[in-house]
Amino acid sequence: QGIGSPSVYHAVIVIFLEFFAWGLLTAPTLVVLHETFPKHTFLMNGLIQGVKGLLSFLSAPLIGALSDVWGRKSFLLLTVFFTCAPIPLMKISPWWYFAVISVSGVFAVTFSVVFAYVADITQEHERSMAYGLVSATFAASLVTSPAIGAYLGRVYGDSLVVVLATAIALLDICFILVAVPESLPEKMRPASWGAPISWEQADPFASLKKVGQDSIVLLICITVFLSYLPEAGQYSSFFLYLRQIMGFSSESVAAFIAVLGILSIIAQTIVLSLLMRSIGNKNTILLGLGFQILQLAWYGFGSEPWMMWAAGAVAAMSSITFPAVSALVSRTADADQQGVVQGMITGIRGLCNGLGPALYGFIFYIFHVELNELPMPESPPGGSVVTQYHLQQNSIIPGPPFLFGACSVLLALLVALFIPEHTNLNLRSSNWKKHCGSHGHPHSPQTPGEAKEPLLQDTNV
């Protein structure tokens, strides 16, 4: 039955342990990825992450609906187990490691279940703070773990890092089994196990079908799609790009993640609050899109490591866009329509999580952005090993997908100009509010419907 009453801290620990384990593998994964696919590294990375994202998009509504009937604890256990299942395979069989990663997308929706768990145990006025705590924990785990994994890999070897990550994942599973109490005890009855699940609850495209019913919603959804598509692709390939193309060491990549994470947390809390009060909601969105265009263009044309660091600081400011979009929707939609529009936005972001990585990998492949020589192993302490990287010097655009992303966000900025600052959205659906909470993507909370459904919040590092 777990330890104590259900609390936000149970959810926080589950999220921290899962993403801390994966964060440890940041540096080893980049090396194994290139050793396994030396000829088309970026293409294969995009396909792997793309398949995982699409499977998560398709399965998240069904898992959310089932957790409403069978309870959260069993699905927390299921999602954490399958999300972490590929970890020990890194050293056993790299091919199986990447194959299981792509297939694990069917169950890799821990965030959806965690935020539903939080919604069950918090009042509506408490949820925003609770979701902020969970999102900050996610960011904190990624701020610290890549640096720790890079250091241990350099000193003791990658095998120890994989063993440690596996142990932390098992600890997370044991914590769920022993310590996490069920947040839906009133529904954990054998009579409810046979409750029917309607197609509307399990349909991942249900949220997208409502997009054209209101012109304002259509503008918002187009803005989200055009701005998040390159963002999703960037998350899937950027650290590999730093490691293999720009010549960053494992420690430099870990430090980059840490700095970017800290700056993003500051931007999404202090800076976002100040901007919303001073320049308004719509102007905050436009400013965030402007920073995203600058960041992606800088990544696209940047050919030196210092340019990546400078653009990373701009990237932190661009992270204010989606929270500002969610706030705009929350303010302009009627109280009984929050779930409708938030569900559309979440569905579009989930779709981008599948399309973005595959698109970036394909563009890298078209422009022949590949590493010609395999990096030599990391030097032991006190030793010196020169790693040779090759980047086409005659290439005007070192990172073509990032420049494509900048053009996409520019279109999003032009569309966002037509979104009014204050309006009332008028969408009606008799049974939408009951089901919309189950639509979302793996790294995004579920959307609000009735009292038990969470308010949409999102923090990506």
Kindly state the average pLDDT of the residues 354-362. Answer: 85
Q: Please report the pLDDT score of residue 253 as a whole number.
A: 84
Residues 180 and 304 placed together within one structural domain of the fold: no
Q: What is the pLDDT of residues 286-329, one digit of tens each?
A: 999 999 999 898 888 877 888 888 888 888 888 888 777 777 77
Residues 221 and 286 placed together within one structural domain of the fold: yes
Question: How far apart (Å, rounded) are the C-alpha atoms in residues 104 and 113?
Answer: 16
Q: Please report the pLDDT score of residue 181 as a whole number.
A: 83
Residues 71 and 105 placed together within one structural domain of the fold: yes
Kindly state the average pLDDT of the residues 25-54. Answer: 83
Residues 180 and 210 placed together within one structural domain of the fold: no
* Strongest mean pLDDT among 62-76, 90-104, 446-460: 90-104
- Residue 355 CA to its chain's centroid (Å): 13
The encoded tokens of residue 227 equal 């701005």
Q: Which amino acid is at 317?
A: M
Which CATH number fits the domain that encloses residue 286?
A: 1.20.1250.20
| Residue 446 located in a structural domain | no
Kindly state the average pLDDT of the residues 272-286. Answer: 85
Residue with the larger pLDDT of the pair 205 and 454: 205
Residue 447: is its pLDDT beyond 90? no
CA distances from 305 to 252, 312, 361, 413 (A): 10, 11, 21, 28
Residue 105 CA neighbour count, 13 Å, CB half = 21
Q: Which amino acid is at 281?
A: N
Residues 173 and 250 placed together within one structural domain of the fold: no
Q: What is the pLDDT of residues 382-430, one digit of tens each?
A: 333 333 344 444 456 677 888 899 999 999 999 999 888 765 555 544 4
| Residue 318 located in a structural domain | yes
Answer positive or negative: Cα dihedral of 163, 164, 169, 174: positive
Residues 216 and 263 placed together within one structural domain of the fold: yes
- pLDDT-derived band at 444, boundaries 50, 70, 90: very low
Question: How far apart (Å, rounded) are the C-alpha atoms in residues 264 and 267?
Answer: 5
| Residue 461 located in a structural domain | no
How many other C-beta atoms are found inside a 10 Å radius of the C-beta of residue 163?
14
What domain range is 21 assigned to?
Answer: 1-184
| Residue 265 located in a structural domain | yes
Question: For the whole model, what pTM was predicted?
Answer: 0.70
Residues 75 and 18 placed together within one structural domain of the fold: yes
**What is the tally of structural domains in the chain?**
2
| Residue 312 located in a structural domain | yes
| Residue 441 located in a structural domain | no
Residues 149 and 286 placed together within one structural domain of the fold: no
Residue 268: is its pLDDT beyond 80? no
| Residue 258 located in a structural domain | yes
Residues 180 and 216 placed together within one structural domain of the fold: no
CA distances from 149 to 95, 138, 156, 162, 172 (A): 22, 17, 10, 9, 18
Q: Please report the pLDDT score of residue 395 as a whole number.
A: 52
- pLDDT-derived band at 196, boundaries 50, 70, 90: low
With contact defined as beta carbons under 8 Å apart, do 31 and 158 qualify? yes
* 380 DSSP 8-state letter: P
Residues 42 and 13 placed together within one structural domain of the fold: yes
- pLDDT-derived band at 236, boundaries 50, 70, 90: confident
Q: Please report the pLDDT score of residue 388 as a whole number.
A: 38
| Residue 450 located in a structural domain | no
* Strongest mean pLDDT among 164-178, 380-394, 423-437: 164-178
Q: Please report the pLDDT score of residue 407 as a whole number.
A: 92
Residues 74 and 159 placed together within one structural domain of the fold: yes
Residues 247 and 344 placed together within one structural domain of the fold: yes
Residue 42: is its pLDDT beyond 50? yes
Residue with the larger pLDDT of the pair 256 and 389: 256
Q: Please report the pLDDT score of residue 428 as a whole number.
A: 44
Give the residue from 150, 184, 218 where a domain finishes.
Answer: 184
**18-32, 130-144, 173-187, 438-452 — which is least confidently predicted?**
438-452
